[in-house]
Amino acid sequence: MDFTVGILLVTFLLSLLALFVFIASMAKGLFGSGGAAAVQIFDEDELGTVEDPAATQAQRGSLQRAMDPGQQAEARTSADVAARRRADQSSSLVVGVCLTLSVVWLVLASFAGLISSIKLHSPDWWVGMEWLTFGRIRPVHLNLVAYGWCSMAGIGVALWLIPRLLKTELVGAKWALIGGGLWTLGVVAGTVAISTGHSDGLEWLEYPWQADILMIVGGALVGFPMWLTLLRRKVEHLYVSVWYIGAGLLWFPILFLIANWPGLHFGVQQATMNWWFGHNVLGLWFTPLALAASYYFIPKVLGKPIHSYNLSLLGFWSLAFFYSQVGGHHLIGGPVPSWLITISIVQSMMMVVPVFAVAINQHLTVLGNFRALLYSPTLRFIVLGAMMYTAASVQGSLQALRSVNTVTHFTHYTVAHAHLGLYGFYTMIMFGSIYFIMPRVMKWEWPYPWMISAHFWLVLVGFGVYFVGLSFGGWYQGLAMLDKDTPFMDTVKLTLPYLQARSIGGGLMTLGHLVFAAHFFMMGWKFGPRRLGAALLKPPALLPRIGKGARA
Amino acid sequence: MSPPGPPKSESRSAPHEGSHASSGAGRFEMDELRLVVGSMVILSGATALLVVLPYLLLRDEPPPPGLKPYTEQQLKGRQVYIANGCLYCHSQQPRDIAQAPDALRGWGRAPVAGDYAYDTPHLLGTMRTGPDLLNIGARQPSRDWHLGHLYQPRAYTPGSTMPPYPFLFDVRQGAAQAGETVVTLPPAWSRPGQVVVARPEALALVEYLISLDRTYPALAPLPVPKKAPS
């Protein structure tokens, strides 16, 4: 008892102390306007100039007029153009490979998810094969999403952003390429292991250690080039996105290594470790990667710096501090020390600080320019993703409260919430980023803009059906389970229509992914009527200047 | 409201030669050292709290006197439980009666850390698409029921959404051989002339399920109150 009080007291005092140190270190100029670091991402003439390689010429003209009707762009200096060209060229091969692999994983993961979903309401469907049983195809889905699609896409986007943000070439691109290959082998090995019944049995940590080693070595080969590039930067200020990517690249390997260490963890301690990892892989790996992308692409597409540099500073450090301690809220009501759960609940609520810091910063940058969403495919996905980040985070904080968690724990509501985070937020931002990046990597435009629209609306409507259906179903399931007079079987039966709705939503999402993947590979084979050429490869005088009205 | 445009004169693109004056005196500026030190300190704190401290606290937690270690056969069954992902639908952690009516459903008392002394990897679970299983062995000790239920859950629980596990069984025409365990199905689900024989995996899994019984008192000297005061 004394020990518990002591721990709580020490934690409280440390948190308070950290907060004061933090505030003191930023006492000056807090919440000021962007400043030099915020405009780091723009070249000399780019402020006020919209950019979205995924948009058509007409869309770009409209986008520019929506942002600034009277814009007269100056010519860019040739030094800037050359630097950007070198940065993009240094990363294009490895980025292209990573993003291509991620799209393949996305499609496979979608089918695994759809099969799992159908099996939940039609249990006698496809039962003959071991590898397709629900208990295997579901973790296959989760791991393909997390380590296949999300990690690969995030790594690809980070590899592309880092040289751009540091105005230098990617160091050791070929090592990153080998790393991406090893990581992929790890995902393949892990998936085969789960399918054949060799799972480690811990959620988010199902891959056996043999597959983990491939991923750790592969991840290191991807991470070191990025950090080496960081150390050779040619810019004075580190842009916000660099903090998130740099920290995420340090955090993830440590989390993954400690969590997967064979023979180290036991019993209930393993459960606390499991959710320390399970939540940190979201908070300290996926979230930083997606926030890095949105902090770059929102201002870049709009041609307008991020609202406040210091707000992003607050957002970054408070995210790191609070997010890293929330894992215990997955064990509310479980056989773990209650001080641990209490700390996690408090820190879950404190997560509103970084969330609102990011929300204010990003939404205020977009505010007043919502018409830009009509024209920019990139922005449409990313702004939607940023909104879902706010929604998912606030929902997550509330869900950590004991009273709410008592209803939602052990139900499909949690699954819906997880998808709001990793799909509504993360995946949407990755879609937007890929739409921006691939024309630069391939030097080829997206061939069919209608396919981008079809992708957007399919996944938006599909996800809406998925999330609303499953959230209601899960909530009612939770309430029914708390009613002692409701037989357990009734809690199963009442979820069936919601689970069917989820399969329909999931089906639409899968269809959207197929459209996206088809479009992606059509671009890869250079289908389509129009050729963009590398805008940056043309001499500045011939550079198509958007903003002088629609190009006739 | 448009944000103030940044001064165009700043030397953003000139490498190495930018001046710190542009960033404002006394402003906290992020650099590599702050990034590495800050992110590592924070992660260490969280790890100490959520991983190391539970490790130190629970390392010497003795198993309750009523808890027996798993037999080899039960451990084999536990692997079958893991391999087929039972944990994605079944928790093994009834909640306290003060929080939820789990005990009234027959799922057992709220567990303590010692109840999991032999559980590595842990299988606490996060989902109750099906019922909690921490005390399934006490609730349903029949081997025949478990075998038949694994073969076709809906033969025993109408409306169940649990998948059947035909690959844990051999279905044959004719009689079973000596030493084989025949699954006795309800009449409506059995076919004349056909036998369903449990494979070793199914038998091991059932041994594990039946071993799940934490009905012994959690703490011997303390009386367990009927209604928790808080």
Interval A351-361: pLDDT, tens = 999 999 999 99
Please judge whether B85 and A134 are an interchain contact, meaning their C-beta atoms are less than 8 angstroms apart.
yes
What's the pLDDT score for residue B146?
Answer: 98
* A222-244 average pLDDT score: 91
| Residues B219/B112, Cβ–Cβ less than 8 Å | yes
Locate the DSSP E strands across chain B. 169-173, 194-198
Give me the mean pLDDT over the A384-410 stretch. Answer: 96
Cα-Cα-Cα-Cα dihedral of A55, A59, A61, A66, to 10°?
-110
- DSSP code of A520? H
Distance (Å, rounded) from C-alpha B80 to C-alpha A466?
32
Mention every residue, 6+ apart, whose C-beta is less than 8 A from residue A159.
Answer: A91, A94, A95, A98, A170, A176, A222, A225, A226
Question: What's the alpha-carbon Rg for chain A, to the nearest Å?
Answer: 23
Q: Which residues pair with B197 in a beta bridge?
A: B170, B182
Look at B82 and A321 and tell me if their CB atoms are within 8 Å: no
How many CA atoms are closer than 13 Å to the CA of A361, on its beta-carbon side? Answer: 30
The 10s digit of each residue's pLDDT in B210-227 is 999 999 988 765 555 566
Residue A52 has pLDDT above 90, yes or no: no
Task: Report residue A23's pLDDT band, with 50, 70 and 90 as the boundaries.
Answer: low
Q: What is the pLDDT of residues A304-318, one digit of tens each?
A: 898 887 788 889 999
Q: Is pLDDT larger for residue A539 or for residue A122?
A: A122
Cis peptide preceding B121, ω within 30 of 0: yes
Higher pLDDT among residues A150 and B62, named by residue? A150
pLDDT value, residue B28? 59
Residue B175, min C-alpha distance to chain A (Å): 23
Task: For B152, name the nearest residue in chain A, comparing CA atoms only.
Answer: A124
Specify the DSSP class assigned to residue A410: B
Q: Chain B contacts of A276, Cβ < 8 Å?
A: 46-47, 50-51
Amino acid letter for position A435: Y
Average the pLDDT over each of A21-25, A126-130, A134-138, B188-192 and give the range with the smallest value.
A21-25
A139 → closest Cβ in B16, B18, B85: B85
Contact predicate A439/A532, CB 8 Å: yes
SS3 B197: strand
Model pLDDT, residue A393: 96
Q: Do A139 and B129 touch (CB under 8 A)?
A: no
Among A477, A509, A482, A480, residue whose Cα is nearest residue A496? A477
Please tell me the predicted confidence (pLDDT) of residue A236: 86
Rounded to a whole number of angstroms, the distance from the CA of A172 to the nearest CA of chain B is: 19
Could you give the CA distance from residue A48 to residue A70 in angstroms, rounded to a whole number? 10
Q: Which two tokens stand for residue A425?
A: 């937020």
Q: Give the whole-angstrom CA distance, residue A142 versus residue A422.
A: 10
Mean pLDDT for chain B overall: 86
The chain-wide mean pLDDT, for chain A, equals 89
How far is it, in rounded angstroms, from Cα A343 to Cα A85? 48
Q: CB distance A236–B18 less than 8 Å?
A: yes
pLDDT tens by residue, A281-292: 999 999 999 999
Residues of B in contact with A254 (CB under 8 A): 43
The minimum CA-CA distance between B179 and chain A, rounded to whole Å, is: 25
The band of A44, judged by pLDDT with boundaries at 50, 70 and 90, is: confident
Secondary structure (DSSP) of A159-207 = HHHHHHHHTSPPTTHHHHHHHHHHHHHHHHHHHHHHHTT---SSTT--S
What was the pLDDT predicted at A24? 64
Q: Which of A60-74, A142-156, A228-242 has the lowest mean pLDDT?
A: A60-74
What's phi and psi for A133, nearest 5 deg? -65, 150
Q: How far B86 CA sits from the closest chain A CA (Å)?
A: 6
Cα separation, A430 vs A149, whole angstroms: 10
Single-letter code of the amino acid located at A517: A
Residue A141: band (very low, low, confident or very high) from pLDDT cuts 50, 70, 90: very high
Q: Are B205 and B75 spatial neighbours (Cβ–Cβ below 8 Å)?
A: no
Report ipTM (2 d.p.). Answer: 0.89
Could you tell me if B45 and A11 are in contact, meaning their C-beta atoms sit under 8 angstroms apart?
no
Q: Is the pLDDT of residue B229 over 70?
A: no
Q: Is A528 exposed, middle or buried (0-12, 13-18, 19+ CB in 10 A)?
A: middle
Instruction: Determine the Cα–Cα distance for residues A547 and A60; give it in Å rounded to an integer.
Output: 8
Write down the pLDDT at residue B224.
54
User: For A127, which of B2, B27, B163 is closest by C-beta distance?
Assistant: B163
Radius of gyration of chain B (CA): 29
Judge: A39–B161 Cβ closer than 8 Å, yes or no.
no
pLDDT of residue A35: 64
Question: Which string of DSSP letters, residue by residue, matches A411-469?
Answer: SHHHHHHHHIIIIIIIIHHHHHHHHHHHHHHHTS--S-HHHHHHHHHHHHHHHHHHHHH
Lowest mean pLDDT among A293-297, A431-435, B223-227: B223-227
Give the gap in angstroms from C-alpha A304 to the nearest C-alpha of chain B: 8
Q: Report the share of chain A in percent with pLDDT over 70.
A: 90
Average pLDDT (A415-435) is 98
From chain A, pick out residues whose CB is under 8 angstroms from the CB of B99.
Answer: 333, 402, 406
Contact state of B12 with A481 under an 8 Å Cβ cutoff: no
Q: A340: which residues sit within 8 A by CB, 6+ positions away? A: A272, A328, A331, B49, B50, B53, B54
Q: Is A308 helix (H, G, I), strand (E, B) or coil?
A: coil
| Region of poorest pLDDT, from A38-42, B101-105, B164-168 | A38-42
Return the percentage of chain A with pLDDT > 90, whole number. Answer: 71
Average pLDDT over residues B191-215: 96
Q: What is the pLDDT, as a whole number, of residue B10?
A: 37
On whether the CB atoms of residues A383 and A366 are closer than 8 A, the answer is: yes
Residues of chain B contacting A136 with CB distance shorter than 8 Å = 83-85
Q: What is the pLDDT of residue A300?
A: 93
Q: How confident is the model at residue A63 (pLDDT cuts 50, 70, 90)?
A: confident
Q: Is the separation of the CB atoms in A400 and A393 below 8 Å?
A: no
CA distances from A186 to A93, A208, A213, A325, B83 (A): 21, 10, 8, 28, 19
- Considering only alpha carbons, which residue of chain B is nearest residue A494? B159
- Chain B nearest-CA residue for A123: B163
**Can you give the pLDDT at residue A19?**
67
Q: Is the pLDDT of residue B136 over 50?
A: yes
Q: What is the pLDDT of residue B226?
A: 61
Q: CB distance A133–B6 less than 8 Å?
A: no
Least confident of A68-77, A126-135, A373-382: A68-77
Structure-token match 């990755």, residue found: A430
Contact partners, residue A382, CB within 8 Å, separation at least 6: A293, A294, A297, A298, A301, A428, A429, A432, A433
Q: How confident is the model at residue B77 (pLDDT cuts 50, 70, 90)?
A: very high
The whole-angstrom distance between B224's CA and the closest CA on chain A is 16
pLDDT class of A395 with cuts at 50, 70, 90: very high
Does A467 have pLDDT greater than 80?
Answer: yes
Mutate to test the interface with B, among A137, A233, A266, A309 (most CBs of B within 10 A): A266
Average pLDDT of the residues in A226-253: 92
